Homo-oligomer: A and B are copies of this chain.
Amino acid sequence: MSLDIKKFSDVLRMHKVSVTASRMKIFETLLQAERPLTNSEIVKRTPTVDRASVYRNLELFAELGITETMLRGWTPLTELAEPFRAHHHHMTCESCGRMIEIEDHELEEVLGSIVARHNFKLTKHLVELTGLCAQCQVS
């Protein structure tokens, strides 16, 4: 059994929710995804799991912090979060749709200081940059 799968079932157990075949399927779908997916893509890619169960579990995953959600236009996209995926943000090209992952220490620090200033306790954060990539600027 892959390490990720084991980590995943541990997280479920840790929160005292059952480890079921449906949850495994959905998790594997996200694990194998080449990019963040829409809800309906996830539904389509887990044909053995009923639509309702997919939704119920995606909501659960979000609550447990297993997944993160971002926005493309008006469509929410979901991908795995830490520790299944390294922490990162996204920079999306409006023209070609390419999505670059961003990891930046300084950014994280600035965010930390903003939060501290307001006495917030941060549980998650999302940064989305949108524009034109180098190629699409010239062509």
A interface with B by C-beta (< 8 Å): 39, 62, 69-71, 73-74, 76, 91, 93-94, 100, 102, 104, 106-107, 110-111, 113-115, 118-134, 137
Q: List 29 A-B contacts (CB under 8 A).
A: A39-B74, A69-B71, A69-B74, A71-B76, A74-B76, A76-B76, A91-B118, A100-B118, A100-B120, A104-B110, A106-B110, A111-B127, A114-B129, A115-B131, A118-B133, A118-B134, A119-B133, A120-B132, A121-B137, A122-B129, A122-B130, A123-B131, A124-B129, A124-B131, A125-B127, A125-B129, A126-B127, A127-B127, A127-B128
Residues of the B chain whose Cβ atoms lie less than 8 Å from the Cβ of A128: 125-127
Provided the pairs A104-B114, A125-B130, A128-B126 are in contact, do residues A71 and B70 lie with their beta carbons within 8 angstroms? yes
